[in-house]
Amino acid sequence: MPADIAERTQVRVWMSASEGTFLIHALAIMYGSGAAPDAADKISKGLSPQVHRDFDWLESELKKGGGKYLVGDHLTAADTMMGFSVAFILKMGLGTSGKKWPAVEAWLANIESTEAYQRAVNKTGHTLG
């Protein structure tokens, strides 16, 4: 965690948002569609705006901060947690069809290429591919 209290607070905000905002909205589409396959398109259409707002927020914040990392000038737990959530949502196509977020995609590619991120992935043994 960063020593600076403002940066530490921002890391915690993004860590919370990774699951408490981004995944909550995206998983509602996945679980709703699984529970009611005949209504999957309607569910996705109805819930996708929430996912779009989440990604629009992330896109905006990345552009404001330069886009390389969420907080500060190096990889933090915020990037790792948000990276997993964002990669999962994009890979599964949960509410993201029809829209692109270039800053989000560039940030994700950047963090996934770092040695620290690769160590974390290798340690868990989990991949989305």
Average pLDDT, the chain: 94
pLDDT for 67: 86
Question: Which tens digits make up the pLDDT trace of 68-117?
Answer: 999 999 999 999 999 999 999 999 999 999 899 999 999 999 999 999 88
pLDDT for 94: 97
pLDDT for 129: 66
Q: For residue 60, is pLDDT > 90?
A: yes
Q: For residue 128, is pLDDT > 80?
A: no
pLDDT for 44: 96
Question: Which tens digits make up the pLDDT trace of 15-50?
Answer: 999 999 999 999 999 999 999 999 999 999 999 999
CA 33 vs CA 37, 40, 103: distances in Å: 5, 4, 29
Q: In this structure, which CATH number among 3.40.50.300, 3.30.530.20, 1.20.1050.10, 3.40.190.10 belongs to the domain 5-124?
A: 1.20.1050.10
Q: For residue 56, is pLDDT > 70?
A: yes
Q: Which residues of 51-84 are buried (b: 16+ CB within 10 A; e: fewer)?
A: bbebbeebbebbeebebebbbbeebbbbbbbbbb
DSSP label of 74: S
Spatial neighbors of 69 by CB under 8 A, at least 6 apart, are 75, 76, 79, 107, 110, 111
- Please list the helix, strand and coil fractions of the chain in percent, rounded to the nearest 5, in that order: 75, 0, 25
